[in-house]
């Protein structure tokens, strides 16, 4: 072999290094090097879309995302609020300006959240009239009111009050706002009404009233609007009905009625529509049921101890906790809802309330619980609490309870959660409160509004 000379070895080394020197360069036809660039991968983005309902010709609503980006809806249907958000981006949709009448408003459902790995399309912007309905136990009637969206003030609607069965004790409205249902304690039936979305007037549904058990005390509609449930306190059971979405008529579901504990007083369905809960006044417990999504039938899945005389029961909007007032113990039992619908007592439960806690209500956005205490001697209060989002434990709001008039017995909120309404069974009026969105504090506003004799239940609605 002929040994290589030094300059030949250097040339070989240079040739060996050439590919590495040329890496990242491209030669064009003129032998000029061009540096290659690698583009960063394009981030996947997702849209946030809302469905607008209830706008009339000439009306509009401006929506804000995170208090800045704005978009205006001038008609009903799908509306893109944000077109290109990346995964992990937060959105918070609020109502800006709106061109509606004094008794109309636009309210948002599912307006806050974080973008995941799919488009957001479950936001609802519901616009339209606001109404309140009160059952008058002593008059066998329902009082109906327009709600002023700005002040919360109530004004009777034309034709009010409307006739019911004997001793109406509870009222509920289906999620669409098309139908209202009343449990009549003494005539042992359920009155059904169609609701005029423009005027709020009530018209009996064909076939109404529908038979119930003995002493139907409380009534509710499941979140899907497919089923209605009424607790019959003298029969210790629940009457379950299928709701005809076209007519509002009720038909018993297979297997109805379903057994409860002794002296059932209240029933609530969780937001998923999978589970129902009944407070049993004499057996001092809460029954848990799984709901058959096809038939509406109830299957008992649990029984949890409560205090003495569990009365009203309420579920938080996230479906994580329920709260039952114990009338004779002056406290509130709190439970966490497990994945299978069974209940586990919250650490620290029960939580102290006032004298004779008769009703519980959770503010629509979820942070606050209110308990109506009838006071026993006529002068009642509202005990108010903040919910621990992680545990469900209740912390009393600072200061004394809020004054609530004479024998207060029921409470609800307008669809926006800005106002609360409390019935006074002792002096036949309804009180209006402004709700502080940050603290939950209640401030009474306006003058008391007359109801009928012995008002027992109140519901609000915004027809869709």
CATH at 62: 2.60.40
Do 370 and 248 belong to one domain? yes
The CATH number given to whatever domain includes residue 397 is 2.130.10.10
Q: Is the pLDDT reported for residue 313 higher than 80?
A: yes
Please check whether residue 17 lies inside any domain of the structure.
Answer: no
Question: Is residue 29, in this structure, part of any structural domain at all?
Answer: no
Please indicate whether residue 10 or residue 51 has the higher confidence score (pLDDT).
Answer: 51
87 and 196 share one domain? no
Of the listed ranges 88-97, 153-162, 453-462, the one predicted with least confidence: 88-97
Query: Is the domain of 136 the same as that of 121?
Result: no
Q: Last residue of some domain: 127, 145, 167?
A: 127
Residue 263: helix, strand or coil by DSSP? coil
- Is 370's pLDDT higher than 50? yes
Task: Judge if 92 and 165 occupy the same domain.
Answer: no
Distance CA 44, CA 48 (A): 14
pLDDT digits (tens, 9 = 90+) for 136-169: 999 999 999 999 999 999 999 999 999 999 999 9
pLDDT digits (tens, 9 = 90+) for 420-448: 999 998 889 999 999 999 999 999 999 99
Last residue of a domain, one of 108, 127, 146: 127
What's residue 37's pLDDT? 57
241 and 200 in one domain?
A: yes
Q: How far apart, in whole angstroms, are the C-alpha atoms of residue 124 and residue 63? A: 12
Do 314 and 388 lie in one domain? The reply is: yes
Q: Does 227 reside within a domain?
A: yes
Are 209 and 310 found together in one domain? Answer: yes
Helix (H) or strand (E) segment spanning residue 191: strand 189-195
The reply to whether 57 and 198 lie within a common domain is no
pLDDT number for residue 35: 53
Mean pLDDT of the 386-406 span: 95
> Domain range for residue 278?
130-461
Residue from 279, 239, 243 nearest 258 by CA: 239
Question: Is residue 137 within 8 Å of 160, Cβ to Cβ?
Answer: no
**pLDDT more than 90, % of the chain:** 71
Give the H/E segment covering residue 266: strand 264-269
pLDDT at 94: 86
Mean confidence (pLDDT) of the chain: 90
Domain assignment of residue 158, yes or no: yes
The string of DSSP letters for 113-171 reads EE--SS-EEEEEEEEEE-EEEEEETTTTEEEEEEE-TTT--EEEPTT-SEE-SSSEEEE
- Identify whether 287 is part of a domain: yes
Tell me the C-alpha distance between 436 and 325, whole Å. 23
**215 Rama sector, left if φ>0, alpha if ψ -120 to 50, beta otherwise:** left
Backbone angles phi, psi at 183, to 5 degrees: -90, 120
- The tally of domains found in the chain comes to 2
Residues 215, 88: one domain? no
Confidence check: pLDDT of 14 > 80: no
Same domain, 366 and 441: yes
Q: Read off the pTM.
A: 0.85
Residues 135 and 123 in one domain: no
- For residues 354-382, average pLDDT: 91
Backbone phi, then psi, for 398, in 5-degree steps? -60, 150
Instruction: Answer yes or no: is 6 within a domain.
Output: no
The reply to whether 7 falls in a domain is no
**Domain endpoint, select from 105, 127, 149:** 127
Domain membership of residue 185 (yes or no) is: yes
- Mark whether 109 and 179 lie in a shared domain: no
């Amino acid at each position: 072999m002929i040994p290589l000379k030094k300059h030949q070895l250097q040339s070989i080394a240079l040739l060996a290094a050439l590919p590495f020197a040329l890496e990242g360069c491209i030669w064009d036809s003129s032998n000029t090097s061009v540096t290659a660039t690698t583009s960063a991968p394009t981030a996947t983005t997702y849209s946030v879309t809302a469905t607008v309902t209830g706008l009339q010709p000439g009306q509009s609503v401006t929506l804000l995302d995170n208090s800045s980006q704005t978009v205006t809806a001038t008609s009903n249907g799908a509306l893109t609020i944000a077109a290109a958000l990346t995964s992990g981006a937060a959105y918070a949709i609020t109502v800006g300006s709106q061109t509606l009448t004094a008794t109309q408003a636009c309210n948002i459902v599912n307006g806050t959240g974080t973008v995941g790995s799919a488009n957001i399309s479950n936001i609802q912007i519901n616009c339209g009239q606001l109404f309140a309905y009160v059952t008058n136990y002593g008059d066998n009637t329902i009082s109906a009111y327009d709600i002023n969206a700005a002040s919360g003030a109530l004004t009777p609607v034309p034709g009010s009050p409307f006739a019911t069965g004997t001793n109406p004790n509870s009222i509920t409205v289906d999620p669409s706002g098309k139908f209202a249902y009343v449990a009549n304690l003494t005539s042992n039936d359920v009155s059904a009404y169609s609701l005029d979305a423009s005027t709020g007037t009530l018209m009996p549904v064909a076939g109404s009233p529908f038979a119930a058990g003995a002493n139907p005390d409380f009534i509710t509609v499941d979140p899907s609007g497919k089923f209605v449930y009424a607790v019959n306190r003298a029969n210790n059971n629940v009457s379950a009905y299928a709701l005809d979405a076209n007519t509002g008529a009720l038909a018993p579901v297979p297997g109805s009625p379903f057994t409860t504990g002794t002296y059932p007083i209240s029933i609530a369905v969780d937001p998923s529509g999978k589970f129902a809960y009944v407070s049993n006044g004499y057996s001092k417990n809460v029954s848990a049921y799984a709901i058959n999504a096809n038939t509406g039938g109830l299957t008992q899945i649990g029984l949890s101890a409560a205090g003495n005389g569990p009365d009203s029961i309420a579920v938080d909007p996230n479906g994580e906790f329920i709260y039952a007032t114990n009338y004779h113990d002056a406290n509130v039992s709190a439970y966490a809802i497990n994945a299978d619908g069974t209940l586990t007592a919250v650490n620290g439960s029960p939580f102290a309330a006032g004298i004779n806690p008769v009703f519980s209500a959770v503010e629509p956005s979820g942070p606050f619980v209110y308990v109506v205490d009838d006071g026993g001697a006529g002068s009642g209060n509202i005990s108010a609490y903040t919910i621990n989002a992680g545990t469900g434990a209740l912390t009393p709001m600072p200061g004394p309870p809020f004054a609530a008039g004479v024998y207060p017995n029921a409470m609800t909120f307008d669809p926006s959660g800005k106002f609360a309404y409390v019935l006074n069974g002792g002096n036949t009026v309804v009180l209006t409160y402004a709700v502080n969105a940050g603290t939950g504090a209640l401030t009474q506003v306006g003058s008391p509004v007359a109801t009928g004799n012995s008002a027992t239940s109140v519901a609000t609605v915004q027809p869709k």
